[in-house]
Structure 1
């Protein structure tokens, strides 16, 4: 694994915008000199490294599924801040194995040892357009004979074909709260993959979904019944909304309700309990840092690196934010590796239950947040 420099393509901004990355300017806070999409550098991996990462990702995913089974069988919903009224619905969603599409692991990796799990984005993972489409076309333009860990697009289409869903179109629900356009473009891309799989689709705003009290069903603005829907609206928000009690029992949602247990950082502590000292895990606890000299306190339902606190013998660092009311997990702190002053975090994609590709974000800080840049990668063959 190494970091290489290169010359950006002429007109790269318009190129990636035409490929769906239309939000690359808005996705970055103002005042940053580095663009969100940065193809002036990229990471190079050996085939052996990628094959080892694939194995580790699939092992981690299997461990996470077994952790869900453990939480459901032991009723540990309080550790995940699941409302008491929804706990039985979470269990039934898991017992039915409600269909799931995709997820993204965030990993610490420097090429010299096993990857370490930082968190699992299993409900509303983003950076999909960058990982699946934009970096693939970068590879074809810049390294036409090169390879990349990236079968995301093909696997998404295959997965849509595999899913057993109710009759009627799949509704793809975006929200008016999306200020950057990232969610809208991600939804549009996923809707396109579903259509390429031969499915009928309809776009709808989350705010325009109505509840038909008489017939006990969700409907869109044209009064069509919503039997199945893909959303990037987090389950914890849905459970807090007035319609949440209906949502858990009506319509097929992708991602399914049982994903609340994978997208919650309490998962990290459960994994450490079930698999202590596993080479791909960092120690993690729910009741405090215990004997950890260096740790990071993460809100169970935090986003974009907000409301985190790093504690080391050298001092404490905190990020702003309003998360944390539901509690924290305390995870052993292992700083992201330093490559020329930048710290990459690997986003390893899982489609269905198989490793499917890689996206990389990097930043100069210790926490990957909304100031990070997405950079492409390639595989170097011997």
Structure 2
């Protein structure tokens, strides 16, 4: 792994990138400057065996996360209760007895996190059917299906001779997908910075198309009343004004379209619930309530939605025992069990003393942090884009990102592993490697880097830098 500082710079590269969808390249800084999000010229180069090591690490981490999800679910008292749609206000879970409560997930959400976690696993779901639905006469017949299409592991990695380390798992709403799948591939095609037949670790587009086909086939098997090609809605939050969310969602929608499904791009504000029957519908405007939404992808954090007024009716609809409620992609368990930083101490508890634990950094909930941990990253459980994260080295603050409103939900402490340093024209650059998981399998790589000591925390102003395999430069 090396950083090539002086690669080919394309003429009018901004226009070329924008034509492919990177319309959010200009990043405003607090001091009023505007910088380019995309790095043109520098790139990272890998040996093939380094890529294979990253791929193997991601596969192992995914298996570990599945076990961690089972563990978190097993620690919820509602795991052994019958679903009662009228029982949303009852209290059975407390932080000292339920991991989901400990990391701030509202109790009314737990049952559907558990149900969707078991969806698709026929053996586990048979057990869950008995536990969750008890003797209900309207219990579902056979397993349901709640597809998870994509996610991204953010890894520390310093090249050959080092072991990748998990920093966090962006399992529900990762962006930088368009850059990873399309923009950096076009950059490679146009610059020819390697002659290796492998060229770049990037099978994202093809894997996404296939993921939609496979997951929708599984969904139709579980819900045979769905049309052969149901419309998949894709929703984004229009208050995000840079265009990043919209273009990432539009790209995902394009892969579903190429998979053969009708699609529709909508705003989150156009998702409504029919008060008469509780169905989730596409609301074109305040006067026109459109068709029921059978399947929808949202680029919107579940931890926001379940605290909003509209959250409860959505979860009631999801609990429909006839399985005719809306299917949400990504399902709520991806946020509840994987996308929060509470996953990190759970993984360490389960695997810290096992061989695969070498892929982890010691991590603890705040109440469990040992006094001997003097160098650490202090991370809010629900932090995004590096917000409110603090790095401490030998009990001395190193750098902190004060932007954001996270922290009231609690913190985890992860052993400090400072990002690798590469010297470039921009200064000392610190890359974090984002390994994309498509349909549960590693499929490609995207790299973001910060500069200087502030760049040790990967923030929303970090730059995207393309990569190659075995460059001739």
* Cα distance in structure 2, aligned partners of 1:345 and 1:14: 26
Q: What per-residue deviation string (whole Å, max 9, x for no partner) do you get for residues 63-100 of structure 1?
A: 00111011111222123211111111111111114210
The answer to whether residue 352 in structure 2 is matched with residue 276 in structure 1 is: yes
- The match for 1:257 is 332
For residue 318 of structure 1, report the CA deviation from its aligned partner.
Answer: 2.0
- Alpha carbons 1:288, 1:329 under 8 Å: kept: no
Structure 2 runs not aligned, ≥5 long:
77-98, 121-145, 220-225, 285-289, 319-324
Aligned position for 1:215: 277
CA distance in 2, matches of 1:23, 1:14: 12
Change (3 A) 1:148 1:353: same
* 3-state SS in 2 of match to 1:237: helix
Aligned to 1:11: 12
For 2:415, the equivalent position in structure 1 comes to 332
Segments of 4+ in structure 1 off by > 2 A?
26-34, 164-168
Distance 1:27 1:34 in 2: 7
Contact 2:375 2:395 survives alignment (8 Å): no
Change in Cα spacing, 1:172 to 1:33, as seen in structure 2 (3 Å) is closer
1:145 paired residue number:
195
In structure 2, the partner of 1:293 is 374
| Corresponding residue for residue 247 of structure 1 | 314
Query: Which entry has the higher C-alpha Rg, 1 or 2?
Result: 2
Where 1:259 maps in the other structure, the secondary structure is helix
Is the 1:310–1:333 Cα contact (8 Å) retained in structure 2? yes
In structure 2, C-alpha distance between the alignment counterparts of 1:295 and 1:279, rounded to whole Å: 17
Q: Secondary structure at the match of 2:283?
A: coil
SS in 2 for 1:220: strand
Structure 1 spans left out of the alignment, 5+ residues: none
Query: Per the alignment, in what secondary structure is the counterpart of residue 204 of structure 1?
Result: strand
Deviations 1:12-64 (A, max 9, x none): 00000001111111476664575210021000000000011100001001100
Distance 1:215 1:27 in 2: 45
SS at match of 1:176: coil
Instruction: Confirm or deny: 8 A CA contact 1:27 1:182 kept in the other structure.
Output: no
Cα pair 2:104 2:409 within 8 Å, conserved: yes
CA distance in 2, matches of 1:8, 1:381: 15
Aligned residue runs from structure 1 range 110-121, under 5 A? 110-111=158-159, 112-121=161-170
After TM superposition, the structure 1 stretch with the greater mean CA deviation from structure 2, 177-186 or 162-171, is 162-171
Q: In terms of mean alpha carbon deviation, does 342-351 or 237-246 score higher?
A: 237-246
| Distance apart, 1:215 and its partner CA | 2.2
CA contact (8 A) 1:149 1:356 kept: yes
1:190 to 252, 256, 259: 252
Higher RCO, 1 vs 2 (CA within 8 Å, ≥6 residues apart): 1
Q: What TM-score, normalized by structure 1, do the two folds share?
A: 0.96
Map Cα deviations across residues 293-336 of structure 1 (whole Å, 9 max, x no partner): 20011011111111111121262132112101111111000100
Q: Greater CA deviation, 31-40 or 158-167? A: 31-40
* Equivalent residues of 1:43, 1:376 under 8 A apart: yes
